[in-house]
Amino acid sequence: MTKLVRQQRHLIAAVGLRREARLAADRVVTAITGGGDSRKLADALDAGVKAGASGIISFGVAGGVAPHLGPGAVVVARGVLTEDGTRVETDTTWRASLIARLGGAIEDDLLGVDHVAAEAAAKAAFHRLTGAAALDMESHVAAAVAKRHDVPFAVVRVVADAASRTLPHAAVVGMGSDGRIEFAAVLRSLARSPHQLPGLIRIAKDSAVAFAALGRVRALLGQGFGLLDLGELALDVPRKDELRWALPI
């Protein structure tokens, strides 16, 4: 019985990168890293909810789609859109808690995509079609799983690359399927096309701004991401060895 209580009292954070996972995870939050693989992420989230997770939050950096948002802008999603027009609303109460903790956050829709939107023209087209503020590759997967299992769902994302910024090929190929940065792939791409270097440096600077903001956001949200009553959870948080469904951080 005790084990069942522990399983029910935790959250899942759906992230893309291991760096995001390290920020997201705490005593009551288990981070699951997608690494750009939608099916793998969906399977892991499904397993987590079946194990008793109390909610899912999509957390990490995002690509800017609205032209007025620069690196470091914080977006708390009202809903998550997909390219086929599906929309999943985030949990109203949880969203209000996040907004209250994050003064100045933008409350708007977010777009979920299955492939990296590298070109500024593509991001501009997405904004015209959907009106979304930003996009990422995990939120739509997390939204679908949360809706299927009827558990609370929320999204907090920080813009890394602005809508006007085109990602160089070296930045796109650097994201590994396990959420790690594959530096060898980055170097190979640079060796083939050295002219990418200035753009890669700009992206690195933008990412540094975004991750600094993401760290501040995580500190403000505290354990449980503003959803769970941690006074009740203090003695019943899951141990890592109980969460065998989770992908490694």
pLDDT at 1: 29
Domains of the chain in sequence order? 2-242 (3.40.50.1580)
> Tens place of pLDDT for every residue, the chain, 249 residues?
223 233 446 899 999 999 999 999 998 899 999 888 889 999 999 999 998 898 999 999 999 999 999 999 999 999 999 988 899 999 999 999 999 999 889 999 999 999 888 899 999 999 999 999 999 999 999 999 999 999 999 999 999 999 998 887 767 765 655 556 767 777 787 788 888 788 778 888 999 999 999 999 999 999 889 886 534 433 344 444 444 444 333
* Per-residue pLDDT tens over the stretch 63-115: 999 999 999 999 999 999 998 889 999 999 999 999 999 988 999 999 999 98
CB–CB of 134/78 below 8 Å? no
pTM (two decimals):
0.83
